[in-house]
Amino acid sequence: MNLTRRVKWLIGAATLVGAWVAFGPGQPDAVEPARAESAASAHVARAKTAAPASLSSQSLLALTNRVVDQTAAASLFASHSWYVAPPPPPLPVADTAPAAPPRPTAPPLPYQFIGSYTPEGQATVFFLSNGDRVYDVHLGDTLDNTYSIDSFRNGQLVLTYKPLNIQQQLVAGVGQ
């Protein structure tokens, strides 16, 4: 394999950094300047470095046993669910019989009371109008094959709507 000078230099630098991380000082405060040592001083230096090495391993053990607040530590990797419950089903509708259609009603009376006349000894004649048309009717007559004149009582003329057999009242009095 043909490696360039630059690649070799990068590999060497990475190796040095890795060795320093793996075998470097245990604590950043324990860095001491390098000096030339004799054999006797090297033995004393090893004894001195053994104590800090044991301290550093103790401090490492202390770091590994260090505990953060358990609630915060547990919530770091806690599982969260994004599940949203569906809405409740609609309430059952009570089975009711379909409502009966409304009862048919008669239309409003198209007639207006104009007046009445009672000749001597004869039945009363009532005058009604519908638009521009004027009717003179007696009790028992039929108007336009739709309304029959039934009775006159208490100032009201009672008419029956023949298709539905419904009675309606037309006010026939002094106030009109």
Q: What is the DSSP letter of 103?
A: P
For the chain, give the longest Cα–Cα distance: 164
From first CA to last CA, the distance across the chain in angstroms is 125
Q: Is the pLDDT of residue 4 over 90?
A: no
Distance (Å, whole) CA 168 – CA 176 = 17
Q: Is the pLDDT of residue 98 over 70?
A: yes
The pLDDT value recorded for residue 176 is 42
Q: pLDDT, tens digit, for every residue of 9-33? A: 889 999 988 887 888 766 655 555 5
Distance (Å, whole) CA 80 – CA 68 = 21
Strand partners, 128: 113, 135
Q: pLDDT, tens digit, for every residue of 35-83? A: 555 555 555 555 455 444 455 666 666 665 555 556 666 667 777 788 8
